Structure 1
C-alpha cells in the first residue's frame, strides 16, 4: 500500500521532524533566533504547545501586552542602560519607504521568555521564517492560521493584548534619564529660535552592523583573498545586555573611519592632465627670477664672446629645466596613474616657462621668452633631444 505524501510524511522523509523521543530543552524552544525546529503548517499548534510547556505558569494577557508595548525600532537603552523600561522605546518608520520598521523588544529580564515566544522565527516548511510578531505586523496567506494556533494555545486574550500593543503608540517618551550620556544638538527653527534634538540609532543598525563587521575579524587563510581590515574597538554598553534587549548580545563595536587624504597640488594636476586637462604648471620658484636675469642680459648690448656664451647658458638652463619637468610629468603620469601620454602634444619650454604669475614683469618676461635668441636656443635643444 503506497504511503500518502502528506506534509508530516514529507517532513519525516527529509529528516526534519521534531524529535519525539526526548523532551527539548528550554533554550531549544524559546529563542530569538533560529533553533532548527522545522515544522509543517499543521504542526504550528503543537509547536506552540511545546513553548507553553516551558512555563510553570501560563503567560497572561498582561505579559504579552508588556512585550508589545516594549517593542520598537529605537531603544534608548542602547545609549544608556539607565533608561527606564517605560521610557526607552521609540517607533519611527523609515522615511521615504512604505516598509514597516524593524522591531526589537526592550524589557525587564522576567519578560524575556514571553518575548521569545512571539519573536522566535517559526521555521515552517516551504515558507520564509516569520515570528508571531511578523505575522501580526506583515500578514501573509498563512498568518491567520498561525495566529489562530497561537490563540488556541495561549488564549485569544493574549493575542488581542499583543496585537493592540504592537499597533498602539507604545510608551511615549517624555523624559530622558539624568545621566548625561545623550548627545544634544540644537537645530535652528525656520521661524526663529532653536529646537533641541537627541539623535538615537535604530536597533536594526546596531544588530545589522554587528553582522556586517564580522568579516573584518576573519582569520586570514594562506593563499586566500585578503580579508578586510579596519580599526575596531569593542566597548561594553552593559554588564547585562539582556536588560537592553534579549535580542542583543555581546558588546558594541566601534570603528574609526578616516577621510582619504587630499591630493597635493602636483598630484591633482597630474590627474587633471591625464583626464584631458591642461599640462601641469612648472612651479619652481627659482624660474621667475632666472627669466628676469636672462631678460636683463638681453636688454644690454654685449660684444664680448664670453659674455655672450654666458647668455646662452642662461637660456639653456631654463630650457633644460623645462624639458626635464616635461619628462617628469610623462613618467609620473605613467607610474602613478597608469596613463601613457606619449601621443599627446606637449608644450614647448617657452610656453611652459611662461605659465606663471609675473605681476609687473610680465612684458619683460614675454619679450625675453619670445626673443630670437631664446627661440634659437630652444630649437637647438629640441633637435638635440629628438636626435
Structure 2
C-alpha cells in the first residue's frame, strides 16, 4: 500500500522522491501507484531524452570527487570489477535541474520479500520481480523512457577523453609493452557513502556504564555548500581519517616471523663469524704442511668454537620460533628442520672467493669429524 503525495507537502515529497531508502514498504500490486506518487512529487515530465542524459552521467566512479573542475561531459566512469560477485553501484552526477529526474530512476523500492532496488538496478541486475517493476514503471513514464534507460545503462560506458589540470594524482607503473604507463587512481563513488556508514559508530556519544565506544582519528570536512555539483545522491560531509602503518619489524624479528610461517631459517648475521671461518681455513692450509700436537689442538679448538656457537644460535632460533608458533596457533612440527652448523656458517655475505674457500673447509673431513664428536658428547 502507498500514500498519495499531498499538494504542497514538502515532507511528503521528500519521503517519496529521494535517493535514500524511504521506509515505504510496498507490495507488487502497489508499484504503479508508487510510481505515480513519485511522478507527482517530481512535478515535471520525465522524457526519454532526460532519462538518457541522467543515465549517461551516472557511473561507479565520479571524477568530480577528485576535482570539481572536471568537465561535466567527462565526469563519470562505469567500471565492472572482474571476478567479483558484488554488484556495482551507480551514482548520478548530473546538473542541478536533473536531480529530481535522477531521484526517479535511483529511488530505492522496498518490495516485501525482495531486496531493495531502484529502477536502474532492476535494469542492470534483473531478478524475479524486475519484469513486474519495469512494467509498472512503463505504465507511468512510458516505454520510450525505459528503452532509453536500457540503451544507455546496458550499452558501452562513456569514455573519459580529458581531465582537468588540477588535483589528479599521477602514478607511473611499468608497461608490459615497455616504457611506463601513467595512471590516475580513482575510488568508487560508493566508497564515499560507505565510509560514512562505517565511521558513524566512531562518532556515537559515550553512555555511562555502556560498552566503550570505539574512537579514531577522524575529521569531518564539508564537501561543498552545493553537494549536488558532484552528485545529488551525495550530501553531508566528507570524512578523512588517519591510517598509520604498523611499525616495521627489525630484520631478526622479520626473519623469525617468516620462518615460523614456512620461510627459510634465519641467517646468523654476526660479522665476526666470517673472520673466524677464514682463520680456520688458514689453519687447515698450514696443517697440510706442518702440524704437531699443539697446532692440531688449536685447530680442534677453533672448529669446536665455530660449531658450538652455530648450535647455540640454532637452538635459540628454534626456541623462539616455537614460542611464536604457539602464540599464533601454528603447529611446531611444521617448522623447517634446523640446519647443520656448516650451513648456518655459510649463509652470509662473503668477500671475493671467500665463499668457495669457506665451503671447502666447512665441508671438509676435519670439520665433519669435530661436529660428530661434539654431538656425541652432548
- Place the TM-score, normalised by the shorter chain, in its bin: 0.5 to 0.7
Structure-2 residue corresponding to 1:48: 35
User: Can you list the C-alpha shifts for 1:98-136, whole angstroms capped at 9, x where unaligned?
Assistant: 998532211122322222122111112233322222334
Give SS of 2:97's match: helix
Once residues 77 and 147 of structure 1 are traced to their aligned partners in structure 2, the CA distance between those partners, rounded to angstroms, is 31
Answer yes or no: is 1:110 the counterpart of 2:89.
no
User: Can you list the C-alpha shifts for 1:211-244, whole angstroms capped at 9, x where unaligned?
Assistant: 56667888999998997x9877766654433321
Structure-2 residue corresponding to 1:328: 316
Matches within 5 A, 1:151-166: 151-154=138-141, 162=149, 166=153
Change (3 A) 1:239 1:311: same
Change (3 A) 1:194 1:40: same
Change (3 A) 1:252 1:327: same
Structure 1: runs of 5+ lacking an equivalent? 1-7, 9-16
**CA shift at 1:33, angstroms?**
2.0
Note if contact 2:74-2:160 (Cα within 8 Å) is conserved in structure 1: yes
Give SS of 1:67's match: helix
Note if contact 1:80-1:237 (Cα within 8 Å) is conserved in structure 2: no
Change (3 A) 1:252 1:244: farther
Give the structure with higher Rg (CA): 1
Structure-2 residue corresponding to 1:245: 231
Change (3 A) 1:225 1:322: farther
CA RMSD, aligned part only? Answer: 5.2
Once residues 368 and 46 of structure 2 are traced to their aligned partners in structure 1, the CA distance between those partners, rounded to angstroms, is 101
Note if contact 1:18-1:38 (Cα within 8 Å) is conserved in structure 2: no
Change (3 A) 1:108 1:320: same
TM-score normalised according to structure 1 size:
0.66
Once residues 192 and 382 of structure 1 are traced to their aligned partners in structure 2, the CA distance between those partners, rounded to angstroms, is 60
Once residues 193 and 365 of structure 1 are traced to their aligned partners in structure 2, the CA distance between those partners, rounded to angstroms, is 47
Change (3 A) 1:293 1:225: farther
Matches within 5 A, 1:68-147: 68-95=55-82, 102-140=89-127, 142-147=129-134
Structure-1 residue corresponding to 2:255: 268
Once residues 290 and 312 of structure 1 are traced to their aligned partners in structure 2, the CA distance between those partners, rounded to angstroms, is 13
Aligned equivalent of 1:284, options 266, 270, 273: 270
Note if contact 2:51-2:145 (Cα within 8 Å) is conserved in structure 1: yes
User: Can you list the C-alpha shifts for 1:175-210, whole angstroms capped at 9, x where unaligned?
Assistant: 433x42234567899999988765544434554565
Note if contact 2:259-2:336 (Cα within 8 Å) is conserved in structure 1: no
Once residues 335 and 46 of structure 1 are traced to their aligned partners in structure 2, the CA distance between those partners, rounded to angstroms, is 68
**CA shift at 1:257, angstroms?**
7.5
Change (3 A) 1:272 1:312: same
**CA shift at 1:326, angstroms?**
3.4
Structure-1 residue corresponding to 2:45: 59
Structure-2 residue corresponding to 1:12: none
Structure-2 residue corresponding to 1:3: none
Once residues 257 and 95 of structure 2 are traced to their aligned partners in structure 1, the CA distance between those partners, rounded to angstroms, is 61
Once residues 310 and 155 of structure 2 are traced to their aligned partners in structure 1, the CA distance between those partners, rounded to angstroms, is 76
Deviates more, 1:249-258 or 1:107-116: 249-258
**CA shift at 1:29, angstroms?**
1.5
Change (3 A) 1:352 1:214: same
Matches within 5 A, 1:1-387: 25-55=12-42, 57-61=43-47, 63-95=50-82, 102-140=89-127, 142-154=129-141, 162=149, 166=153, 173-177=160-164, 179-183=165-169, 200-208=186-194, 211=197, 237-249=223-235, 250-251=237-238, 253=240, 256=243, 258=245, 261=248, 264=251, 268=255, 271-272=258-259, 275=262, 282-290=268-276, 293=279, 296=283, 299=287, 314=302, 317-338=305-326, 340=332, 358=354, 362=358, 369-370=366-367, 374=370, 378-379=373-374, 383=377, 386=378
Structure 2: runs of 5+ lacking an equivalent? none
Give SS of 1:36's match: coil
Once residues 120 and 308 of structure 2 are traced to their aligned partners in structure 1, the CA distance between those partners, rounded to angstroms, is 78
